[in-house]
């Protein structure tokens, strides 16, 4: 490879250590994303817990369209990525989403994020396991 020979020309060690470093980085990268990439929860338990979300997000997480009353209108969650669901819920909980009181729909979800169900990390994981298995 051209780049390899150029790097070898600069220093005989550079390419090897660069390559090893890259491999090492990729391993860390895999380790870093794998626990968050998939839901570790139980989808059966998630289905039960999800019933408290269904009023706004639909019986099967399909979401509600603009015809639904605004106070019972939530976006589609079925089939969403686990990391995104996890991150969104966390953001409602820590005030990074729905921090503006005039954000009416955001406030709805923030209220929900503060309930007992979503206060437990394991419950969030169960719900995520259920939702990511839906289409």
Residues within the interface to ligand HEC (CB under 6 A): 52-53, 55-57, 72-75, 77, 85, 88-89, 97-98, 105-106, 108-109, 112, 117-118, 127
Alpha carbon 63 to its chain's center: 17
CB of 35 to ligand HEC, least distance (A): 19
CB of 94 to ligand HEC, least distance (A): 14
CB nearest ligand HEC: which residue? 53
For ligand HEC, give the closer residue by CB, 18 or 68. 68
CB of 107 to ligand HEC, least distance (A): 8
CB of 13 to ligand HEC, least distance (A): 48
């Amino acid at each position: 490879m051209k780049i390899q020979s150029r790097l070898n020309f600069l220093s005989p060690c550079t390419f090897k250590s660069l390559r090893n470093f890259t491999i090492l980085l990729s391993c860390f990268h895999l380790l870093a994303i794998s626990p968050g990439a998939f839901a570790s929860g139980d989808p059966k338990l998630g289905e039960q817990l999800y019933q408290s979300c269904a009023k706004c997000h639909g019986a099967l997480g399909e979401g509600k369209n603009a015809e639904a009353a605004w106070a019972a209108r939530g976006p589609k969650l079925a089939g969403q990525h686990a990391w995104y669901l996890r991150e969104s819920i966390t953001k409602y909980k820590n005030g990074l989403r729905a921090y503006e009181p005039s954000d009416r729909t955001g406030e709805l979800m923030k209220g929900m994020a503060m309930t007992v169900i979503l206060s437990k990390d394991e419950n969030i994981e169960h719900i995520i396991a259920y939702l990511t298995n839906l289409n």
